[in-house]
Chains A and B, each alone.
Chain A
Amino acid sequence: MPSWENPRIPEGINVTREHPLRELFILGGALLAIGLAALLLLNTAAGWIARAIPFSFEREMAAGLAGDVTGGDPAREARLQALAGQLAERMELPEGMTVTVHLLEGGTVNAFATLGGHIFVHEALVRLLPDENSLAMVLAHEIAHVKARDPLVALGRGVVVGAALAVITGASGSDAAGRLLAGTSLLTSLAYSRTQEERADREALAALARHYGHVGGATELFVRLGEVEGGETGAATPEFLSTHPAPDDRIARLRAIAREAGWPLDGPRRPLSLSGD
């Protein structure tokens, strides 16, 4: 019988002698860099596109929000609407842009602006404020958001970024890669929110100065909010990961802006008269 044998096969033919960590860092780094760049680009593009959409179109989109019974006292709502109207005039809103205030009943201290110039204010927030000036600050801040088309920009950005993420994670088929990308998108969208907020603060202060002659009451809300939150949660949320600037920082910044512009930091306050006056 001829000699049959199985010789020893040398190692390393069917495997690649490359350190796995090296591959991870190179590929992972490349993906993160590309992801960040793409998301930043999409963020900016979404902003431009959103501002190109006329306000009338946005108002039609938000048609469902008008006329809803929100549970707040109608007389109060009317007073808020009147105040908002005065402030809107002071802030020189563009032609055709209108602001509608809705009063929501409820315990959360919150106010926000959405599409079509609709502003929602919770009763709890109104109850918390001592005078008309501080309420005007809140309303002016939200009107400034409407003026800058912030709601539509945020919506558009969310849609564009969400769609892009869905495409990328779908293509990779790996949940982990998707998580990496989701983390980066959160960071980039936060930075924009903060710039938008700061700009709205600045404009609101200017409106207050024009309407009352001074900016007294502007920081009132944040002082009170700080008291409320400090009592309830007892823990300060790190500014980095929250979408709104921390109250202490904001108060200091508002005062600095006022001093820079030469607006008096306080003056005679008008009392709140919300019972159908």
Chain B
Amino acid sequence: MIDLILFVSLMVAGYLFGRMAERRHYRSILRREERLRQRVLLMPVRTPPPLEAGSTTRLVTGSAVISVDYFKRVVAGLRNLFGGRLTTYESLLDRARREALLRMQEQADAAGATMVVNLKLETSSISKGIGDSVGSVEVLAYGTALVPPSRP
């Protein structure tokens, strides 16, 4: 009986706090994306456009680690039995990816860059939810920032 009560409490807490955190995070993401979207351009192409004399380049990275909450993990566990899309994890990955890109853009912006080329993304899962632990997802975004010689 205690087990059941504990389980239900964890589920409720995970659901409520997870949703709250997700909403807040998305609001922050949308706000920052609006600000940086045209300020630091993101280009997945490998070769940069022709550079002005005096431009510099540097590596910029952004990473985000987002944890799965208990509720999401339980629903995903049920999905693992029946098959189908893990919709609870989709938003997790979306947030982590966009957060990583934003942080990379912020790092580039701080360095005075206007563009990041050769953009790459990597996802890894810390602990992979081994045993009883709730897993988490890390996304790393990295690229080459192009800093023009002078900024208006």
Which positions in A face B, CB cutoff 8 Å? 1-2, 4-6, 8, 14-16, 18, 20-21, 23-24, 27-28, 30-31, 171-177, 179, 183, 241
Per the bound structure, the CA–CA distance linking A24 and B11 in Å amounts to: 11
Chain A residue numbers with a CB within 8 Å of B115 are 4
- Is A21's CB under 8 angstroms from B132's CB? no
Q: Shortest CB–CB separation between residue B61 and chain A, in angstroms?
A: 19
Which listed residue (A2, A14, A174) contacts B74, Cβ 8 A?
Answer: A174
B41 touches A183 (CB 8 A): no
Are B38 and A20 closer than 8 Å at their CB atoms? no
Q: Which B residues are in CB contact (< 8 Å) with A177?
A: 74, 77-78, 81
Known A-B contacts A20-B72, A27-B75, A176-B73; the reply to A241 vs B80 at CB < 8 A is no
Closest Cβ–Cβ distance, residue A180 to chain B (whole Å): 8
Q: Closest Cβ of chain A: how far from B115's Cβ, in Å?
A: 7
Q: Quick check: B90 and A15 within 8 Å, CB to CB?
A: yes
Residue in A4, A16, A174 whose beta carbon sits within 8 Å of that of B80 in the complex: A174
Known contacts A6-B41, A14-B94, A30-B82, A174 near B77 by CB under 8 Å = yes
- In the assembled complex, B43 has its CB within 8 A of some CB on chain A: yes
- Known contacts A14-B93, A16-B87, A20-B15: does B78 contact A6 (CB below 8 Å)? no
Shortest CB-to-CB span from B30 to chain A, Å, is: 8
Chain B residues in the interface with A (C-beta under 8 A): 1, 3-4, 7, 11, 15, 33-34, 37-38, 41-43, 49-50, 71-82, 85, 87-88, 90-91, 93-94, 115, 132
User: Which residues of chain A are near B77, meaning CB under 8 Å?
Assistant: 172-177
* A–B pairs, 5, beta carbons within 8 Å: A4-B49, A8-B34, A16-B90, A20-B88, A177-B77
Residues of A within 8 A of B71 (CB): 20, 24
Question: What residues on B are CB-neighbors of A15 within 8 Å?
Answer: 87, 90-91, 94
Q: Determine if B72 and A31 form an interchain contact, defined as CB atoms under 8 angstroms apart.
A: no
A2 proximity list for chain B (CB < 8 A): 49
Question: What residue of chain A has the Cβ atom nearest to residue B105's Cβ?
Answer: A6
Give Cα A176 to B73, complex, Å. 9
C-alpha gap A174/B90 in the complex (Å): 19
Q: Is the CB of A23 within 8 A of B88?
A: yes
Chain B nearest CB from A242 CB (Å) reads: 12
- Would B85 and A24 count as touching, CB distance under 8 A? no
Q: Which residue of A lies closest to B82 (CB)?
A: A27
**CB <8 Å contact, A16 and B85:** yes
Chain B residues lying within 8 Å of A176, measured Cβ to Cβ, are: 7, 11, 73-74, 77
**A17 smallest CB distance to B (angstroms):** 9
Instruction: Kindly provide the distance from the CB of A93 to the nearest chain B CB, expressed in whole angstroms.
Output: 40
Cβ of B137 to closest chain A Cβ, rounded Å:
14
Nearest-neighbor residue (CB-CB) of A7 within chain B: B37
**Do A27 and B87 touch across chains, with their CB atoms under 8 A apart?**
no
Residue of A nearest to B85 (CB): A16
Assess the A5–B75 pair: CB atoms within 8 A. Answer: no
Per the bound structure, the CA–CA distance linking A174 and B78 in Å amounts to 8
**Most chain A CB atoms below 10 A, which of B38, B42, B72:** B38
Which 6 A-B pairs rank lowest in CB-CB distance, beginning with the nearest? A174-B77, A27-B78, A16-B87, A176-B74, A15-B91, A14-B94
